[in-house]
Chain A
Amino acid sequence: MSDTPHSSPMDLAAAYALGALDADDARTFEAYLASSPEAQREVAAFREVAALLAAGADAPAPGAELRARVLRSRPGTAAPQAASRVSAAARPRRSPWAVAVLASGMAAALFLAFALGRSRDTLRQELAARDSTLGELAARLRGREATLNAILEPGVRIYELTSSGDPKPGAQLFVDRARGVAILHAFRLKQAPAGRAYQLWFIKDGKPVPSLTFNADTTGHAMLQQVPFPAGGVISAAAVTEEPATGSLQPTTPILLVAPLPAS
């Protein structure tokens, strides 16, 4: 291990966890690490420190659609488009010879494709487009079926959240206390202004507990699935307020929609 001032291999644990060791030092340290449980614990602790560095950073929140995209990346299914873009960007450059060989191969393939006829190509594209549409419809149907199943579970109770607004927005809350989840369906709701969103609250032991943020679509509807229902205490009501898009830890505006949630 080169260059001062390390008196012990353990001194390298912090830089190793940070990914800052030079290649030679990293190889030497890894050999030591493999046989030292103490060093493994040190590295694990410094990795926690490294992971926390990002927690202090200011950054915009990821877009809401990213969650659905992540859930579509189940192993064995096609990789998300984004993934392929990153991978392609990160791929090492090929040598000019390899590029030339690849280019001539691609030219031959293109020639062959034309020789096989344009109509076949068009048919394939149409089929692919229909497959994609069918896939989207099937995914939407699966989502609807899951919602329906959740609502039809024994013990699920429906509560109406009401308001005095004009036009009068409303919401239905389907609560499954046994499973600790709820579904919120809001309607006749105006879209929140830019940078704002609606936030659901539960009133637990007389105090508001923050839940999910959401926004209405262009038809005034909003659906929140898998809303965690607070555990313990007495949950006496649910309410909706308008808050900053990132949500609030305590309500900052008057209640827009509210409903009592009697347990029995």
Chain B
Amino acid sequence: MSARRIDLAGGTYVTWRMSSTFSASPAGSSDRELMTRAAGGEEAAVGRLYDRYARVLHAVAYRIVGQRADAEEVVAETFAQAWRDAARFEEARGSVPAWLTMIARSRALDLTRARVRRDRATTSAGSEPGPGPAMGTWRSDPGEAVDADERQRKVREALAGLSAAQREAVELAFYEGLSQSEIALRLDEPLGTVKTRVRSAMQKLRDSLSPYFFERAE
């Protein structure tokens, strides 16, 4: 697409180059600062963390629970817990997004297990239609949007670099909450084989993705 010159009052103009690539990375507070402020009850700090990580938390929850409304509930619960426990967050045990992700995963798995129990009891499992387009998406930080798109591409590339068996083992563990023994049973494979697959897959992902970890430079 070609550039278009937009004339503004006062003799200024902008060039609207629709195909141009550019980046914007406005400086923001670090996750640690936001956690400290959230622990002090500051709503804006929680809002900022939400803007940064709600999409990815929603993605993990959605992948596990498979329904948009439930995924949103998991995200709401995750932030409620994070806000409550902000003062207890220990940076040494991982970054803020890693911590949030593990909370969301755990809650989503709890919800799924409870649903399975309920469905077994009532045999009335209902499924919702697939998700529609999401309106009013809150994309508040252009720099973060660029980071997120780049990160998504790299994660997909890294996952594509695993063997199908490695990918399956990791996904069964992460999204279905299966232990290595349960994965071995599910796949009818020796436990040792599954352990090796999980370990080598995670190491491979770590090697490819370490430059894209969520952890922010302070």
A and B interact: yes
* Partner among B14, B47, B173 whose Cβ is within 8 Å of the Cβ of A15: B173
A215 to B133, CA, bound (A): 14
A85 to B196, CA, bound (A): 39
A73 to B71, CA, bound (A): 17
Q: How many residues of A contact B (CB 8 A)?
A: 95
Query: Is A70 a contact partner of B75 (Cβ separation < 8 A)?
Result: yes
Instruction: Check: B6 CB closer than 8 A to any chain A CB.
Output: yes
> When each residue 53-92 of chain B gets 1 if its CB lies under 8 Å from chain A and 0 otherwise, what string results?
0111111101100001011111111011001100000001
Instruction: Check: A250 CB closer than 8 A to any chain B CB.
Output: yes
* Partner among B10, B41, B159 whose Cβ is within 8 Å of the Cβ of A260: B10
Query: Is A245 a contact partner of B136 (Cβ separation < 8 A)?
Result: yes
Query: Is B102 a contact partner of A50 (Cβ separation < 8 A)?
Result: yes
Q: Nearest chain A CB to B203's CB is how many angstroms away?
A: 6
Residue numbers in A under 8 Å from B77 (CB-CB): 80, 82-83, 86-87
Segment from A53-61, A115-123, A163-171 that makes contact with B: A53-61
A95 to B200, CA, bound (A): 43
Q: Nearest chain A CB to B100's CB is how many angstroms away?
A: 8
* Partner among B16, B17, B98, B110 whose Cβ is within 8 Å of the Cβ of A50: B98
CB-CB contacts below 8 Å: A23-50 with B: 23, 25, 40, 43-50
The chain B residue sitting closest to A85, CB to CB, is B73
Query: Is A55 a contact partner of B134 (Cβ separation < 8 A)?
Result: no
Known: A40-B92, A46-B202, A59-B63. A86 touches B73 (CB 8 A): yes
The chain A residue sitting closest to B24, CB to CB, is A209
Residue numbers in B under 8 Å from A258 (CB-CB): 6, 8
**Chain A binding site: helix, strand, loop or mixed by DSSP?**
mixed
Q: How many residues of B contact A (CB 8 A)?
A: 116
Known: A44-B92, A51-B101, A212-B138. A66 touches B14 (CB 8 A): no
A4 to B184, CA, bound (A): 13
Instruction: Check: A21 CB closer than 8 A to any chain B CB.
Output: yes
Instruction: Check: B37 CB closer than 8 A to any chain A CB.
Output: no
* Partner among B16, B55, B80, B94 whose Cβ is within 8 Å of the Cβ of A255: B16
Query: Is B173 a contact partner of A54 (Cβ separation < 8 A)?
Result: no
Query: Is A83 a contact partner of B76 (Cβ separation < 8 A)?
Result: yes
A3 to B196, CA, bound (A): 11
Residue numbers in A under 8 Å from B134 (CB-CB): 60-63, 245-246
Q: Nearest chain A CB to B178's CB is how many angstroms away?
A: 7
Q: Nearest chain B CB to A64's CB is how many angstroms away?
A: 3
* Partner among A20, A71, A246, A255 whose Cβ is within 8 Å of the Cβ of B173: A20
A65 to B177, CA, bound (A): 29
Q: Nearest chain B CB to A94's CB is how many angstroms away?
A: 12
Query: Is A237 a contact partner of B179 (Cβ separation < 8 A)?
Result: no
Instruction: Check: B114 CB closer than 8 A to any chain A CB.
Output: yes
**Nearest 7 Cβ contacts at the A-B interface:** A64-B136, A56-B155, A54-B60, A14-B202, A82-B73, A20-B173, A61-B134
- 13 CB-based A-B contacts, threshold 8 Å: A19-B177, A51-B214, A60-B132, A70-B46, A70-B75, A82-B77, A85-B73, A90-B113, A226-B140, A245-B136, A246-B134, A249-B149, A254-B4
